[in-house]
Amino acid sequence: MTDELKSFSHSEYKSLKGCRRRWWLSYLRRLGTRPGDETATGVRQLGLNVHLALEGLYGYGLDPLEVLRVVYRETMERCPDAEKEITGELSYALTMVAGFLEWAAETGMDAEYEVVATEGEVSHHLDLADGRAVRLRGHIDQVVRRRGGDEALLVRDFKTVGSLVKADELQRDEQMRFYALLQWLRAEETSGRVDGVLYTMLARSKRTAKATPPFYETIPIHYNVHDHRSMLLRVRAVARLALDLEADLAAGADHREVAYPNPSEFCKWGCEFKSVCTLADDGSRFEDALAGNFIEIQPYGYYGTERIDGIRKAMGQMTEEKIA
């Protein structure tokens, strides 16, 4: 494996399957929103912050409630005009995570499993049928080993959800199939066994008197060797497409021909380029719009510990201030 290989994550896989134009702008042009343009609150931010709190708990033994307080304090400093919204979402997040801690203790959720890795990167050199290769990458919430008996490995993912979804919906989820595939490919090298994934879901609920439980649930999804092989075929096909498109664009192909858009409902709530997308097709100053609204980013910059390291540092400073 070398760093010269193209990285290929589930996020890029999903992006290319969903919209070639968004993939082109995100992963080839490496464009993203400015930090100051990010929303202070919302479903996405709430999910990211809860994930960060659980990463602090399982990966570093931090108090997840204190992690949330630090995160939202930093958000308040960045967006002082949104104090009311930030304060309200902090209360929401604290309620969710405090309830999760109570539920986990009552159910003994962690007793059956040993945490092997937390918020770690898993990668694998993947050869393609035409002789090319990519570096598959995954940023996984947890890898756990079942205690006793077979001691199989499972991927555990924490999700904040509007409602506790049905298992058949999770069975189709490609993100966890991608991560389980990575573990399976690596386990083949070490003769290990990958049994599937554990979805641990936290409902976005303030748990008021009118709210209807349950608010937390863990659902196991099992994959067999046929599942893994099928997902491997999909990933190889999309990875080949990514390499082909990169080569076409590098050779001078018009992006409107090979990296065309795929308009969908996702554009409304999930695409950061929705405000400039149509400018690429109507003769407007598309490049100027990109330059004025986006900055160059590292699409794989979220791989690493910089964020949680900053939180740990801030919490350490707070502790020192209290002692002083």
How confident is the model over 213-233, as pLDDT tens digits?
A: 899 999 999 999 999 999 999
Phi-psi region of 98 (alpha: psi -120 to 50; beta: other; left: phi over 0): alpha
> Cα–Cα–Cα angle for 201, 202, 204, nearest 5°?
135
For the chain, the C-alpha Rg in angstroms (whole number) is 21
Q: Are 170 and 131 in contact (CB under 8 A)?
A: no
How, if at all, do strands 194-203 and 153-161 pair? parallel
Task: Using the predicted structure, report yes or no on whether residue 64 has a pLDDT greater than 80.
Answer: yes
Q: From residue 81, how far is each of 22, 77, 85, 166, 220 by CA, in Å?
A: 31, 9, 9, 39, 42
Here the contacts of 267-276 (C-beta below 8 Å, separation 24 or greater) are: 271/19, 271/22, 272/32, 272/33, 273/21, 273/22, 273/25, 273/31
Please name the amino acid found at residue 165.
V
d(CA 68, CA 311): 9
The pLDDT of residue 1: 38
Q: For residue range 86-131, what is the model confidence (pLDDT) as tens digits?
A: 999 999 999 999 999 999 999 998 888 888 888 778 899 999 999 9
SS3 126: strand
Judge contact between 276 and 20, C-beta under 8 A: no
Q: How far apart are CA 67 and CA 57, in angstroms?
A: 9
pTM, entire model: 0.84
Domain ranges, ordered by start, for the chain: 6-244+303-323
How far apart are alpha carbons 30 and 168 in whole angstroms? 35
As a whole number, mean pLDDT of residues 257-265 equals 97
> Residues, the chain, total?
324
Assign 2 a pLDDT band (cuts: 50, 70, 90).
Answer: very low
Band of residue 211 on the pLDDT scale cut at 50, 70, 90: confident
Measure the CA–CA gap between 35 and 143, rounded to whole angstroms: 30
Mean pLDDT for the stretch of residues 66-70: 96
Distance (Å, whole) CA 283 – CA 275: 15
What mean pLDDT, rounded, does the chain reach? 89
Q: Does domain 6-244+303-323 have CATH number 3.90.320?
A: yes
Pairwise CA distance, residues 232 & 222, whole Å: 16
Higher-pLDDT residue of 190 and 140 is 140
Q: Cβ distance 180 to 158 under 8 Å?
A: no
Query: 157 forms bridges with which residues in the sheet?
Result: 199
Contact 118, 161 (CB under 8 A): no
DSSP conformation letters of 169-187: HHHT-HHHHHHHHHHHHHH
